[in-house]
Amino acid sequence: MNKKVLKLMAIFLSFVMIMASCGGDDDSSTSDSSTSDSSSSAEEEAPAKEEAPAEEEAPAEEEAPAEEEAPAEEEAPEPEPVEERTASDVGITEDSIKIGVIVSDLQGLIDIGYPLPAALTTDHLSERFTKYFDEWNAAGGINGRMIEGVQITWDPLSPATMENSCTEAVLDEQVFMAINASGFSQAFIPCFTEDNDTTFFYGEVASQAMIDAAPDRLFSLNPPSEVAGEAGAQLIVDQGLIPVGAKVGILDSTIPPIAAAGESAASILEGAGYSTTTITVNTLSGDNAAANAEGAAAVAQFTAEGVDHVFVILPFIYAAGFWGEVGALQPSWDRTILDSASSNCTPFGASRTNPAAEGAICVTSYDSYASPNGGVGDDDAFEAQCRQEWIDHFPIFNGKSDKGAPSGEVGLETADGELLNSDYAPGECTMQYLIKAALENAGVNPTRDSFADAMRGLSGPQAFRSNGEGAFGPGKNYFSTQMQAVEFTLASRSTPKGADGTYNGCPAPVNCWIPTNGQWFKFN
């Protein structure tokens, strides 16, 4: 009896479902009939069916359309809207970010006899950055925006052209930010940062006073000139390189950040019991010959005043006259170079500095391939990556990049017949990855302020500087964290390669800086 009833009920419910699916005005009457018949059958069979709830489960089939009535997916929260790209700041459109690449027009130096390699061109200097921009763009850009690098040049021998480059960048091109790895005079950076509220990322030395005047617009790799002056002078004091009570000469510059280094050095020295005398060379006149003549005259002046040691703070392009006169007169006093001006203590600067600077000490954040015990150091992982990227970007160097080879050299022949090709550019390599990281972290619609906040949150590797490390931070707009003392050492193309793989201690047959003891020290 039970099985028969169940079969009849199943057939009946199937019929009801078919009729319900047909729709129309009969739906309600069919439903009512089904409910009535089910109730009647249940009453008749109740005494014998309490242990078998088949009839109680049947209505579940009738309620199956409930899946359509309350789907769970429709009740899920809406996803957050994607932020639309907008023209969020000067130099930024919905699709692009414009960056001014500030580089030297090298023809002026060539015209006055500086022996620059043929591959060291103005375009090559800008491509040290723009080759990276091309790679970013090929991968989709930065948060969907393409990076537009705009080459802007200046003549290193004409201060007026440096001011013109600022005008071109901020008024004519209206760039989001400007970048320069080396060579640009610190005196004209405030035109960008203070006068025109434009971010400037500098690969060398700015002054803390300049950073304080525009804390959200100026960033650098090297420590400020005040730190360089203090550290250099303190090293001389701590190591007892000058007899207590001796007189120290300071060869200074009219460029304010460089002068700040001289003032810091004088303060440290005088506090330690030394007396100081300063000679200031006018490096803002735009007359390179006149500046070098002033530097040459300073040699006799320092000798006449009885100095025991001289701190040289001039950039190398203005110091040629001074070093030439030192070589001619052979004064008895020793020399220290402060790393407060462009290229003063770099391999490139050493390769262009007069041999009369032999033995001069520099306290710097720059590294050295050489070791005080001989031999050539290895690249760390980041430096090796930078070197390979350099080789990939510039086929002109024949798939090679040799440590210590002057920038732009192609086929520099050694005394042993080996051909060396340009070392890579560590400053540009470090700067490009910091720029990329800060732009990525500055938001979908970056501004100069959000970029500054993102920069101060960065730390990481640094190529050929600061013992391989760097960090910005709150109130710290410069990346380097460590410095060392190095000594100016002579080598030339006629110097043979030694058993330790060096040329009189240098990694290539050109003048170089060799660490005095290989020790790095952190600074505040």
Average pLDDT over residues 42-70: 43
CB 203 within 8 A of CB 428: yes
* 62 falls within a domain: yes
3-state secondary structure of 114: coil
Task: Judge if 265 and 400 occupy the same domain.
Answer: yes
Asked which of 188, 220, 252 is the last residue of a domain, the reply is 220
Q: What is the share, in percent, of the chain residues with pLDDT greater than 90? A: 65
- Give the separation between CA 135 and CA 157, rounded to whole angstroms: 33
* 397 falls within a domain: yes
Q: Minimal CA–CA distance to 336: which of 317, 308, 306?
A: 308
Cβ count within 10 A of residue 273: 10
**How many structural domains are present in the chain?**
3
| Token code pair at residue 408 | 């732009």
Asked which of 163, 198, 220 is the last residue of a domain, the reply is 220
According to the model, what pLDDT value does residue 113 have?
Answer: 79
Q: Say whether pLDDT at 259 is over 50.
A: yes
Cβ count within 10 A of residue 40: 10
* 350 falls within a domain: yes
User: pLDDT grade, residue 278 (50/70/90)?
Assistant: very high
Q: Minimal CA–CA distance to 157: which of 352, 294, 317, 342?
A: 317
According to the model, what pLDDT value does residue 380 have?
Answer: 97
Q: What is the mean pLDDT of the chain?
A: 86
Task: Judge if 507 and 375 occupy the same domain.
Answer: yes
Q: Which residue has the tokens 């390769």?
A: 351
According to the model, what pLDDT value does residue 503 have?
Answer: 96
| Token code pair at residue 203 | 């690969």
Residues in CB range of 294: below 8 A, 6 or more apart: 281, 282, 321
| Token code pair at residue 107 | 């023809």
Amino acid letter for position 375: G
Q: Which domain holds residue 62?
A: 2-23+34-70
Q: Which residue has the tokens 């970010």?
A: 97
* 428 falls within a domain: no
- Give the separation between CA 396 and CA 409, rounded to whole angstroms: 10
Task: Judge if 175 and 244 occupy the same domain.
Answer: no
Considering only 11-20, 58-67, 219-228, 406-415, which range has the smallest mean pLDDT?
Answer: 11-20
Give the domain CATH number at 214.
3.40.50.2300
Residues in CB range of 320: below 8 A, 6 or more apart: 292, 295, 354
Task: Judge if 205 and 279 occupy the same domain.
Answer: no
Q: Say whether pLDDT at 175 is over 70.
A: yes
* 430 falls within a domain: no
Question: How many angstroms separate the most distant Cα atoms in the chain?
Answer: 132
In the chain, the N- to C-terminal Cα span, in Å, equals: 97
User: pLDDT grade, residue 72 (50/70/90)?
Assistant: low
Q: Model pTM greater than 0.85?
A: no
Task: Judge if 198 and 238 occupy the same domain.
Answer: no
Task: Judge if 146 and 54 occupy the same domain.
Answer: no
DSSP strands (E only) in 307-352: 309-312, 334-338
- Give the separation between CA 161 and CA 176, rounded to whole angstroms: 21
Task: Judge if 139 and 247 occupy the same domain.
Answer: no
Report in angstroms the alpha-carbon separations of 411 from 119, 392, 405: 11, 17, 10
- Give the separation between CA 380 and CA 462, rounded to whole angstroms: 10
User: pLDDT grade, residue 242 (50/70/90)?
Assistant: confident
Residues in CB range of 8: below 8 A, 6 or more apart: none
Q: Which long-range contacts (CB under 8 A, 24 or more apart) does 189-193 make?
A: 189/218, 190/214, 191/163, 191/166, 191/167, 192/166, 192/217, 193/217, 193/218
Residues in CB range of 367: below 8 A, 6 or more apart: 464, 465, 466, 467, 468, 484
Task: Judge if 137 and 216 occupy the same domain.
Answer: yes
Task: Judge if 210 and 242 occupy the same domain.
Answer: no
Considering only 39-43, 213-217, 237-241, which range has the smallest mean pLDDT?
Answer: 39-43
| Token code pair at residue 49 | 């069916």
Of the two residues 227 and 31, the one the predictor is more confident about is 227
CA angle 450, 453, 455 (to 5 degrees): 110
Report in angstroms the alpha-carbon separations of 156 from 20, 283, 296, 444, 462: 90, 11, 20, 37, 27
* 198 falls within a domain: yes
